[in-house]
């Protein structure tokens, strides 16, 4: 079953249409890598999928009861975010905000989910530590745990390896792989095309003149081996 089915989607920014009639889908347990040069609309596409920006035309259909606010989203970290003065527990719990409804306080079920997510990411012993005191790899695990509080169906990642060192990047891809093998669908924007093609199942390449969507093997054939 398709979690997201995109049909004839057109969007852009500053009243300029940059992508026209884009169609693709994300199935349950899929791993889709979105690639392309800077400025072709990758981050804008993510905003459209998350309901943060309206498309000019086309449709986005959500399946299996998935709603835009139930998608786990891991954006690029800024220096301010890395120095955020909150505990690990507080940050992970904030992933439950989409399910609070009209309430303002976390319920027992939210706290239990946060604990389970921290244990799943092997950071439960860090629950009361300040986020700003953690290593880059530990911070990434915290953010993944936060995503798991939002949903177990789909996680969207925007350049997750940006500004990370080699070892932390390796650990991050290992986490993503594990989550995907456990059934969580992944949509990831990446400039690391070689690694993306090794890890992912499908590729969506955005271009200013021609877009591509298909399996990794179909993408390699489309490129004629010129990767």
The pLDDT tens digits for 136-180 are 888 888 988 998 888 878 999 988 777 677 888 888 888 889 889
In a domain, 5, yes or no: no
Say what percent of the chain tops pLDDT 90: 43
Boundary of a domain, candidates 99, 133, 150 = 150
In a domain, 9, yes or no: no
- Tell me the average pLDDT across 4-14: 92
Rounded distance, CA 101 to CA 93, Å? 15
- Tell me the average pLDDT across 40-44: 90
In a domain, 18, yes or no: no
The pLDDT tens digits for 109-125 are 889 999 999 998 899 99
The pLDDT tens digits for 55-84 are 999 999 998 777 766 788 887 665 446 667
Q: Where are the beta strands (DSSP E) in 83-201?
A: 154-158, 185-189
* Residues linked to residue 7 through DSSP beta bridges, in sequence order: 59
Which range of residues forms the domain containing residue 98? 79-150
| Residues 6+ positions from 63 with CB-CB distance below 8 Å | 1, 2, 3, 4, 5
| Residues 213 and 157 grouped into a single domain | yes
How many domains would you assign to the chain? 2
Boundary of a domain, candidates 117, 150, 183 = 150
| Residues 6+ positions from 51 with CB-CB distance below 8 Å | 68, 69
| Residues 171 and 145 grouped into a single domain | no
With beta carbons less than 8 A apart as the criterion, state whether 158 and 76 touch: yes
Q: Quick one: pLDDT at residue 171?
A: 84
Q: Quick one: pLDDT at residue 37?
A: 87
Q: Quick one: pLDDT at residue 87?
A: 94
Burial class (CB in 10 A: 0-12, 13-18, 19+), 174: exposed
- DSSP 8-state code for residue 75: P
Rounded distance, CA 222 to CA 209, Å? 15
pTM: predicted TM-score of the whole model, two decimal places: 0.85
In a domain, 34, yes or no: yes
In a domain, 92, yes or no: yes
- Tell me the average pLDDT across 12-28: 90
Q: What is the CATH number of the domain that holds 176?
A: 3.40.50.300
């Amino acid at each position: 079953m398709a979690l997201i089915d995109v049909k004839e989607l057109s969007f852009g920014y500053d009243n300029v249409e940059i992508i026209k009639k884009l169609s693709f889908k994300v199935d349950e347990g899929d791993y889709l890598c979105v690639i392309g040069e800077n400025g072709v609309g990758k981050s804008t596409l993510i905003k459209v999928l998350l309901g943060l920006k309206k498309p000019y035309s086309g449709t986005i259909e959500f399946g299996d009861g998935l709603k835009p606010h139930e998608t786990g989203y891991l954006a690029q970290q800024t220096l301010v975010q890395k120095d955020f003065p909150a505990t690990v527990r507080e940050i992970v719990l904030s992933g439950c905000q989409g399910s609070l409804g009209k309430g303002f306080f976390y319920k027992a079920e939210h706290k239990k989910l946060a604990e389970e997510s921290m244990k799943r990411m092997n950071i439960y012993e860090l629950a009361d530590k300040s986020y700003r005191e953690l290593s880059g790899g530990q911070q990434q695990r915290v953010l993944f745990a936060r995503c798991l509080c939002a949903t177990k169906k789909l996680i969207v990642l925007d350049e997750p390896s940006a500004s990370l060192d080699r070892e932390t990047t390796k650990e991050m891809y290992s986490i993503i792989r594990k989550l995907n093998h456990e059934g969580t669908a992944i949509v990831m924007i990446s400039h690391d095309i070689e690694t993306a093609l090794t890890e992912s199942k499908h590729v969506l390449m955005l271009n200013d003149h021609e877009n591509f969507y298909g399996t990794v093997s179909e993408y390699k054939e489309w490129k004629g081996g010129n990767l």
